[in-house]
Chains A and B, each alone.
Chain A
Amino acid sequence: MTTTLLDVKGLCVHYGAVEAVRDINFSINEGEIVALLGANGAGKSSTLNAIVGLVPPHSGSVTFVGNDLVGQATEAVVRLGITLTPEGRRVFGSLTVEENLLLGSFPLADPKTQRATNLEKMFSLFPILAERRQQIAGTLSGGQQQMLAIARSLMSSPRLLLLDEPSLGLAPQIVDTIFDQIVELRAAGITILLVEQNVAMSLEVSDRGYLMASGGIVAEGTSEQLSSSSIVEQAYLGHE
């Protein structure tokens, strides 16, 4: 029996008169990697921001293992076990690598004992961060910053990780490394919602996916089904 971690029903997000997200439904089960795909402006980031309470939803419900998230402050949502690695990485550029990671441990219930353990875990998952421990985060390369941003989100031992465009602005080789690491994370038992414009690679690593266009979900299914569906092929995979 699979446990549903996150359940989104009828979610709408408005910015003024603009409907960024229109009545979408999706769910994520424990242990899955679910891809939320679509072009720039399809409403993917707005969906993530609504889940973590950075923008208030216009209507709809978001439930995380029985907790209603709508109306909760971001810092409270995070304490329930969801973290978001934001688009564009947004590491704290003037803080060191280690300080960035320590901040990620803020939501831990028992930070004193867990903080050091998690720090060591992150250093073994991302050895480059151990090497750069005392370096100012703003001076890291883009790929290293992305690893730091992901590691920072994992410092609180979340049950669900929301990854917003981890491949954005990175060189293809680095993108490969990041996706390899996403697969490793799942092996480590972390449930992931992967939001990406890079449809082909995301479908390779994910179990299921949803395709968004102009604020709504236009296709869904297992990653295999989506890879071979005509709508995804024509629009995103560039197959003839």
Chain B
Amino acid sequence: MDGELGIFIQQTVNAISLGGTYALLALGLAIIFSIMGMINFAHGELMTITGYALMYCGLAGLPFYISAPLAVIVATGAAVLMERIAFRPVRNGSAASMLVTSFAVAIILQTLFQNLISTRSKAVILPDIFAQSVHFGDLSIGINQILSISLTVVILVLLNWFLRKTILGMAMRAAAEDFSVARLMGVRANAVIAGAFAISGALAGAAGVLWVAQRASVDPLMGFVPVLKAFIAAILGGLGSLTGAVAGGFALGFIEIYLAAYLPDHIQPYKEALALGLVIAILLVRPNGLIPAATIGKEKV
């Protein structure tokens, strides 16, 4: 196979894999935003919690195929608790108080990780197979990326099925569009919001597993950067739009990976700035994002 083409294919696989992780995270942010009108900046800490769950499961000697779903369950539970303890009391407050609450939750959790676990990065035991690759001619693709892409696809299909085909999914879409009227239909506000947090926690958990599987370590601030990226992806896609969040996640993954692969060496230090510059350029053309939400400007909870 041609070398140039081989590199291009490999970078595309990288882009899909990274974009998929951003897409899962951005979806989690978008689900909460579409229903509550709040950006949950503590979303990243759900990823970090997943990482620590994986670490402790590994230390306890559990195999990865058990510890990974377990870690996702831990993240889901943590998200539901977060809503119950921190966000429900401020639900009727302003968007600003909810935002500040989410920052507070993020910082409290980071502090707890630093003081109760370690300020430093801890190793996570991963199965050996994750380091292996599959070879197609002279093209080699990491097992870990194949798993990551497959898992992302499965999750997106499942979520789409849930939102379109189940009555609970319909209730969530209705609540995202008009919360008061959804309540007039007898949809329980607390149940829908708790459900949204559970889904967003499971998505953060899945993204956390994928993130850690690439790095084999976890640290207290691990969630910050990917969630910032996911926030950018969600805005790029159209804040509050679920399809937009997926589109934005993949778009950002492609922008980052291609810039890192094809920018000349002396421009590489500016790649983050260039990536964000591109995002802004896209937003100048499409101010409401790639696929805007149907309900922009409507009243939330």
Contact = CB atoms under 8 A, between A and B. Distances in A.
A93 B294 contact: yes
Most buried by A among B167, B174, B177, B186: B186
B183 interface: yes
A103 B189 contact: no
Contact of B170 (A90, A103, A138): A103
Interface in A71-90: 73-75, 78-79, 83-84, 86, 90
Contacts of A52: 184
Contacts of B186: 75, 78-79, 106-107, 156
A44 interface: no
Interface stretch (A94-102, A127-135, A168-176, A196-204): A94-102
Interface string A47-61: 000001010000000
Contacts of A92: 173-174, 177-178, 181-182
B170 A99 contact: yes
Contacts of B177: 92-95
A111 B186 CA distance: 12
Nearest to B178: A90
Contact of A78 (B170, B178, B185): B185
Nearest to A52: B184
Most buried by A among B170, B174, B185, B189: B185
B185 A152 contact: yes
B180 interface: yes
A86 B170 contact: no
Nearest to B183: A74
Given A95-B174, A103-B170, A103-B171, A86 B181 contact: yes
Contact of B184 (A78, A94, A95, A111): A78
Contacts of A78: 183-186
Interface secondary structure of B, over-half rule: helix
Interface residues of B, number: 19
Contacts of A138: 294
A75 B183 contact: yes
Nearest to A107: B186
A90 B180 CA distance: 10
Contact of B187 (A86, A99, A106): A106
A102 B184 contact: no
Contacts of A84: 184
Most buried by A among B173, B180, B183: B183
Contacts of A74: 180, 183-184
A209 interface: no
A104 interface: yes
Interface in B116-158: none
A18 B167 CA distance: 39
A74 B294 CA distance: 25
B188 interface: yes
B294 A86 contact: no
Given A73-B189, A75-B189, A94-B294, A103 B174 contact: yes
Contacts of B183: 54, 73-75, 78
Contacts of A83: 184
Interface in A117-173: 138, 152-153, 156
A102 B295 CA distance: 21
A24 B170 CA distance: 38
Given A103-B167, A104-B185, 10 more contacts: A74-B180, A78-B184, A78-B185, A78-B186, A86-B184, A92-B178, A93-B177, A94-B173, A95-B173, A111-B167
23 contacts: A54-B183, A54-B184, A73-B183, A73-B188, A73-B189, A74-B183, A75-B186, A75-B189, A78-B185, A78-B186, A86-B180, A92-B173, A92-B174, A92-B181, A92-B182, A93-B294, A94-B294, A103-B170, A103-B187, A106-B171, A106-B185, A106-B187, A107-B186
